[in-house]
Structure 1
């Protein structure tokens, strides 16, 4: 069947991080340009296999399906019960010899947490990451679990520009001046501009709005001519998509992503780009990631951060380093340490959840009920260490007090290593029973099912800790 190259291939909705979700209409030519270039460059073929960890309403799934199937490759699908279970992913990766990994960074992080205690090397030939900042710890951890120096392909772009528009291939030692993996350079047949408010190109190192041009651009926002005209503009005879992202060019031609333009805030009369504070946090030695936001009225700047493993710096040290990089009015007044930063369903930083974290600090602690019995006390101790909480009630919800899919994966691994839970208890059990009390009941029932007895909790717990 013959299909016109400019005919609609699919409509996919944006994540809604900037407001009302919008239906992005992509044509065959735009999407095929991205897919064909990557398949050709990385030798994706009929022997390639990918584990489809991205949901179908997220545009990374477009490559999972059409990228692999267009060359006769295979797509390994997940059922809903195992969609967030990294232990299941690891078994499927080995069972089906998955060669290509394609996800947001947090999902690879979850896989590597589980793989650390597995002697088998990961069978990947390519690892593609996009959708969020990529920490500098991921490349060496990935290399430690693979056969050889496989490429970690860091990519970026927009749903409105055929999945990806830029890439940075990472191998070997990372440059010392990097604070995170940069955006890299435009993909073939695509181009970028860094534009100031007057529509002029910014010099190297000067931040501006990222505009994407070339063959990957979407046809339109389906059924919204006004928004299409606002976001897809003509300049110098070429069509461009205004991403709403901030970035800058380095002298070597690499692009650096600096966050969203709509994260600009006004504090004490000063207009502040939160992305600039995020970038300064990324420069602090010992920090894995930091995110700034505002709370309250009048607004005040705060920031949440995650430390690197073994890092010993405290909030005073972080503040002192920020004061060397930023003017006084841009230094956050309060810093909150978290084990991991909360993420949206698509793996991006969930600023609304972060805001709830800070607001919770200003509320009186809810009625406290101490953990009961040896199993609950053991769980509480591990949760406190993992989530860095001084005190936990037996009815606290793991995910409401700062836990996420990554820390949940780490929790399940720790409990299995200490033989507190049987292997039949997976991440799904924690999602179903997220409090200390309910999770302890689930563990107790799992041991009973395994032993075929109705022993009391303490006896079961003793058996589980041998």
Structure 2
């Protein structure tokens, strides 16, 4: 009798299991688990979670979190990755909003749950004694096989920040992920010999690319610890990393730590960047360090299933397509349509419809202003201004909320940043708006050489109209990063508004 066909995101792992049962599926530090071992463990854990429709994974990056995500999917549940480092109140909100009925936790996750005073049941496979006996989920009978799920069922829920301070929950279906990974399978040549980096926290959607592209190919997925950035070329060489994915901010970090010397990363075949604007100058440096690697800029909000557009870097043509020194976001995935809202000619707010689009936030109240009904279809308003290029690809112009008014001037922060980056001695720059004495002013934080404000202002005036010249320039050794290793623009904006002592120079 034929085995029933299993459907769902977790079939990606089953493909890897069939291709390389004894191959490494996950490596964390010195610990490694084969596909067969992860499969057996996930089935055992899934048996304990068989009656939980929504499973939270409250664990730091480690075997508990990786196997936990797979176990939740094997059980046919919706998976909700939750970082123990988040504030307890935020964790409490996320549990409630997502309707989490059981949590897989490591030791830090157990401590967070105890502080949150949640009545949610806890499965702690490595630390069962630390769990309240009344809430402890014991091991049950292992599942014989992963459960099949409907394409319309929710595979996972991720959270984005909300304007009210309350996180917004984004449900992504198995059908959306099926479309997404089918496109990636057609585009890339990943195989059992590949070794994937895993840099993102599991609550960041790009982590799904790391795991399920790697697992779908029978490749090894290696967690990248923070200390690896100090000597990243050495880490790549020791692990044989062939596929890298990170935010563009990682490039500046590796450069600052001396890792971007020419030819220093020869093992890389593919290099992917997403999550923020990717600068041409950064790609050039990365490409020189990884000469055998194909570099791509991936774009996509969480609401559109990880990434929805891609541009493959070409040293011959990409620079000419760039706007303000930023690599284009590229072409929208097949099967999707887009429109440019409230724009002129070939510019406007990017709105997208298609199979990767979420059906809406878990709380319908959060949908207001983010979704557009037009021509009988639902479109997601990305909030990003783009320009349609002659090639048909899209160039990123900036966030709608990054366009500000300064004394009557309409200012794009991306243009200001690009201009300041061009000043002699400046390595990188981030522009924010700050209100002082009732007036909006431009403040630029920059890295590189500490320069006289007068000199920076002189150079900026050579590149910008007078009304767009920043009012303040603040030198920093490095930009603060948030938990996803993106530049923490919100923190810089707060510093600017508070006139914090980071070394302030006013233009004259």
Range class of TM-score, shorter chain: 0.5 to 0.7
Structure 2: how far apart are the matches of 1:119 and 1:263? 37
Q: Specify the SS of the correspondent of 1:31.
A: helix
Counterpart of 1:130 in structure 2 is 274
Native 8 Å contact 1:295 1:355 kept in 2: no
The match for 2:66 is none
1:290, distance to aligned residue in structure 2 (A): 3.7
Q: Are 1:203 and 2:345 matched, yes or no?
A: yes
1:154 partner SS:
strand
User: Tell me, what secondary structure is at the counterpart of 2:236?
Assistant: helix
Aligned match of 1:316 in 446, 450, 457? 457
Inter-partner Cα distance in structure 1 for 2:264 and 2:387: 40
2:446 to 267, 281, 306: 306
Paired position in structure 1 for 2:208 = 62
Q: Structure 1 residues 281 and 292, CA, compared in 2 at 3 Å: closer, same or farther?
A: farther
Mapping 1:382-461, distance limit 5 Å: none
- Counterpart residue number, 2:28: none
2:335 corresponds to? 189
CA contact (8 A) 2:249 2:487 kept: no
CA contact (8 A) 1:39 1:45 kept: no
Note if 1:255 corresponds to 2:394.
yes
Describe the shift of the 1:172–1:203 C-alpha distance in structure 2 as closer, same or farther (beyond 3 A).
same
Unaligned runs of 5+ in 2: 1-5, 7-147
Return the alpha-carbon distance in structure 1 between the equivalents of residues 217 and 356 of structure 2. Answer: 20
| Aligned partner of residue 221 in structure 1, secondary structure | coil
Deviation of 1:357 (Å): 4.2
> In structure 2, do the counterparts of structure 1 residues 12 and 84 end up closer, same or farther at CA, with 3 Å as the change threshold?
farther
Describe the superposition over 1:341-371 as per-residue Cα deviations: whole angstroms up to 9, x where unpaired: 33322233323332354357566x9xxxxxx
Q: Is the 8 A contact 1:90 1:114 kept in 2?
A: no
Tell me the residue number matched to 1:346.
484
Residues 350 and 274 (structure 1 numbering): CA distance in 2 closer, same or farther, change over 3 Å? Answer: farther
Q: 1: distance between equivalents of 2:171 and 2:483?
A: 22
Distance 1:146 1:188, change over 3 A: same
User: CA separation in 2, counterparts of 1:228 and 1:164?
Assistant: 20
Query: CA contact under 8 A between 2:328 and 2:395: conserved in structure 1?
Result: yes
Deviations 1:392-450 (A, max 9, x none): xxxxxxxxxxxxxxxxxxxxxxxxxxxxxxxxxxxxxxxxxxxxxxxxxxxxxxxxxxx
Query: Match for residue 407 of structure 1?
Result: none
Structure 1: runs of 5 or more not aligned? 366-387, 391-466
Counterpart of 1:121 in structure 2 is 265
Distance 1:271 1:283, change over 3 A: same
Taking the aligned partners of 2:262 and 2:421, their CA distance within structure 1 comes to 33
Please, which of 231, 240, 244 is the counterpart of residue 101 of structure 1? 244
- Structure 1 residue 226: deviation in Å? 2.7
CA distance change for structure 1 residues 278 and 221 in 2, over 3 Å: closer, same or farther?
farther
Contact 1:213 1:241 in 2 (8 A): yes
Deviation at 1:117, TM superposition (A): 6.4
TM-score of the two chains, using structure 2 as the length reference: 0.61
Distance in 2 (alpha carbons) for counterparts of 1:17 and 1:104: 23
